Amino acid sequence: DGGITQSPKYLFRKEGQNVTLSCEQNLNHDAMYWYRQDPGQGLRLIYYSQIVNDFQKGDIAEGYSVSREKKESFPLTVTSAQKNPTAFYLCASSPASLRREQYFGPGTRLTVT
């Protein structure tokens, strides 16, 4: 079945360590996105990519980095520069135009202590 995979579901890290969250899609979508969600809050855009080897910063990109070497994959690295990294991270994808519905993965809950 086509869909978006995020792994792992739960991730624990010590403060000061970089951590990479995985996102893979087999929907043949061109655009991919990363969002952060804090408890009781909406989604905030971290980064997005419309094509391979290109990506743009969202509203809260500081302390995060991404790469888009393959159409299917859009990993997110949470760096030690991110001051409050504990959150729920959602990856999404959509067909070529950004003005379309996005389809989401199951999310990764990151806890940094």
Partner 1 sequence: AQKITQTQPGMFVQEKEAVTLDCTYDTSDQSYGLFWYKQPSSGEMIFLIYQGSYDEQNATEGRYSLNFQKARKSANLVISASQLGDSAMYFCATYPAGNTPLVFGKGTRLSVIA
Residues that bind partner 1 (CB under 8 A): 31, 33, 41-43, 45, 48, 50, 58, 88, 90, 92, 97-99, 101-107, 109
CB of 50 to partner 1, least distance (A): 8
CB of 77 to partner 1, least distance (A): 20
Cβ within 8 Å of residue 44, ≥6 positions away? 35, 36, 37, 58, 59, 60
Q: Which is nearer to partner 1, 17 or 106 (CB)?
A: 106
CB of 48 to partner 1, least distance (A): 5
Q: Which is nearer to partner 1, 67 or 88 (CB)?
A: 88
Q: Which is nearer to partner 1, 15 or 101 (CB)?
A: 101
Q: Are 47 and 60 in contact (CB under 8 A)?
A: no
Secondary structure class of 23 (helix, strand, coil): strand
In SS3 terms, 55-97 reads as EEECCCCCCEEECCCECCECCEEECCCCCCCCEEEEEEEECCC
